[in-house]
Amino acid sequence: MLVIVSCKHKKQTQTTKTKPTEVKISSSKIAIVEEKLGINKHKVEENKLYSFIADWYGTPYKYGGCDKNGTDCSCFTNILFRKVYNKNTERSSGDIYKSCDKIKRSNLQEGDLVFFVTNGKSVSHVGVYIKDEKFVHASTSKGVMISSLDDAYFKKTYYGS
C-alpha cells in the first residue's frame, strides 16, 4: 500500500529588488571599439549596441557555434538582435536575408543587416551595420570584429542590405 501525503505550507517569502547583473567588459575590448568607431569610452559603455560589441569582440569563429566559446556569423547576429533589439532572426545568413526587407546601401542605419556572398554561390555571410561604413560580424579568420564595407574584400563580396 502506498500512501502519499501532502501538506500545504505557506512559506513567508521576502522579495528584494536586485539590480540585474552587469557584464564587466575588459578595458582593452572597450579601447578597441573606441578606436575602430572613433568614439569615447563613455559612448561605448552607454550604447547598448556598442557595449554588446565590446563584450563579444574577439570571440573566436566556430561554424555552428553559438556562444562566447565560438560563434558563426548568423548566430552572432541572432544573439546581437535578441540582446540589443529584442528581436529574433533566422539561424542561417541565407534565411535571414530571405526574411528581410531590402534597402539600399546608401540608406544604411545602425542595426541594419549587411549580407555577402563569400562562397561564390549565394548569401553566406551576415553582419550588423554600425556607422560610417563599419559593421560588426563573426569573421572566419579573426572571430567577432569590426570591418569596413569599403575594404576590398567586402566591396567584392557585398550582396545587399
Angle between helices 73-85 and 48-56 in degrees, nearest 10: 140
* 137 is known as an active-site residue: yes
**Beta-carbon neighbour count of residue 11 at 10 Å?**
4
Question: How far does the chain reach from its first CA to its final CA, in angstroms?
Answer: 69
Tell me which of 9, 42, 66, 73 is the catalytic residue.
Answer: 73
Looking at 42, 66, 100, 125, which residue is catalytic? 125
The C-alpha cell of 85 is what?
533589439
Alpha helices per DSSP H over the chain: 27-37, 41-46, 48-56, 73-85, 93-99, 152-157
**75 classed as catalytic:** no
Residue 156 contacts residue 150 (beta carbons within 8 Å): no
- Could you say which DSSP state residue 158 is in? E
Residue type, 8: K
Which residues have a catalytic role annotated? Answer: 73, 125, 137
